[in-house]
Structure 1
Amino acid sequence: MFGISPIGWVHTLGSLPAIPLAVYMFARHGRIVPRSAAGVAYLVFMLIGAATVFLVAREPVSYVIGAATIALLIAGYAIGRLSGLGRAGRYLETIFLSLTAFLLMLPTVTEILRRVPDGHPLVTDLKSPLLLGAQAGLLVLLVVGLTAQIIHLRRQGRLAALSSRAVSAG
């Protein structure tokens, strides 16, 4: 079905749960929260998908996306444990992990459009206007989402600063 090999199914089904986990964390917290149960599950499923891409990739760019995803996951999950970065660490963590969600969705949308419906896919050419438009839409969503996340983090930082001033003055 859909021309997917057995290892391709491991790759697809292994990474698929990361999508609703990311959506849940974006909706609930405005970002991917690495030190939460959903965040740990997201890491596991993303690592399954990113590691197995090297076994199923047909396009050279897939290797780059897989390697970038692994690097961003490691950086995103590790940076919060580094002391001395202050608020910059939270910003970097948010940016890195949001980029992993983008790198998950980019090939997901591409593969769906290239495989569905089975036997008569919506897209047969990587330069298809439908595919390029979907990919551009994801890029716009990334830019708007990151902007909103950074604004939200700045507001949280300001509120925390005001709150600590009020407590120390009181």
Structure 2
Amino acid sequence: MLELLNITAFGAFHTVIAIIGVVAGFVALIRYRQIRLNTVAGSSFFWFTIGAAVTGLFIFRRGSFGAPHVLSLLTLVVLALAWWAERRNGFGRLSGYATVLFNLTALFFHFIPAFVETLTRVPLGAPFATGPEDTRLFGPIGTAFVAYLIGAVWQILRQRRIGRMLAPGPGLA
């Protein structure tokens, strides 16, 4: 089966790690309405996404260092910033916003290679897209980006509401 999809065993391993990360991210969003390291789902998302990004750095399907490798490095930077925001309060009072937005961004990043790699391989024999630059990929990736933007606005509004609920009222400060 791997031969039919033109994928190596290492590529399949990378894909499984990435899928576990995505599922964990969605579990966190559904269960807790945010992705945070202090939950099993959020922590699983974080570590499996790191695993996917690191293993992605060793895949050279198109011959050399390229856009997928840049996306892997960017994902690692975004996750480091999410960790810094959540665990070290690195953005001060904006850390709650930064945490959920950086984690949501990392979740979105999963969808770029997922669409590119899947849609350039299936359906078998007549893939949807001819390669990573195929304009037909703009639709699925653009749709994921719009969903990401909606989710980001939702996360910001939710964080504002949480902040207001936790803020001391008059005479309580």
TM-score between both structures, scaled by the size of structure 2: 0.87
The answer on 1:82 being equivalent to 2:88 is: yes
If asked which structure has higher relative contact order (CA below 8 Å, sep 6+), I would say 1
Which amino acid is the alignment partner of residue 160 of structure 2? R
Q: Could you tell me whether the CA contact under 8 Å between 1:7 and 1:55 is conserved in 2? A: no
Instruction: Tell me which amino acid in the other structure corresponds to 1:67.
Output: L
Cα 1:152–1:51 change in 2 (3 A) is: same
2: distance between equivalents of 1:84 and 1:99? 18
**Identical amino acids, percent of aligned pairs:** 26
The answer to whether residue 95 in structure 2 is matched with residue 117 in structure 1 is: no
Q: How does 1:109-148 map to 2 (within 5 A)?
A: 109-148=115-154
Closer, same or farther: CA 167–109 of 1 in aligned 2, 3 Å = farther
1:10 aligned residue: 13
What amino acid does structure 2 have at the position aligned with 1:38? A
Task: Identify the residue that residue 104 of structure 2 maps to in structure 1.
Answer: 98
* Partner secondary structure for residue 158 of structure 2: helix
Paired residues of 1:14 and 1:49 also in contact (CA < 8 A)? yes
* Structure 1 CA distance for aligned equivalents of residues 20 and 171 of structure 2: 42
- 2:116 and 2:131 in contact (8 A); partners too: no
TM-score (norm 1): 0.89
Count of residue pairs the alignment pairs up: 167
Q: CA RMSD for the aligned pairs?
A: 2.0
1:63 aligns with 2:66: no
In the alignment, what sits opposite 1:155?
A: 161
Q: 1:7 to 1:95 in 2, by over 3 A?
A: same
Q: CA deviation at 1:84?
A: 7.1
Q: 1:156 to 1:106 in 2, by over 3 A?
A: same
Instruction: Output the amino acid matched with 1:39.
Output: G
In structure 2, the gaps of 5 or more residues are none
- Structure 2 distance, partners of 1:40, 1:83, is 17
More helix by share: 1
Kindly provide the amino acid, as one letter, of the partner of residue 120 in structure 2. R
Contact 2:53–2:72 (CA under 8 A) maintained in structure 1: yes
CA contact (8 A) 2:84 2:90 kept: no
Unaligned runs of at least 5 residues, structure 1: none
Q: Report the Cα distance in structure 1 between the residues aligned to 2:61 and 2:101, rounded to whole angstroms.
A: 28
Matched residue SS, 1:100: helix
**1:35 matched residue in structure 2:** 38
Q: Give 1:120 deviation, angstroms.
A: 2.3
- 2:91/2:98 contact within 8 Å kept: no
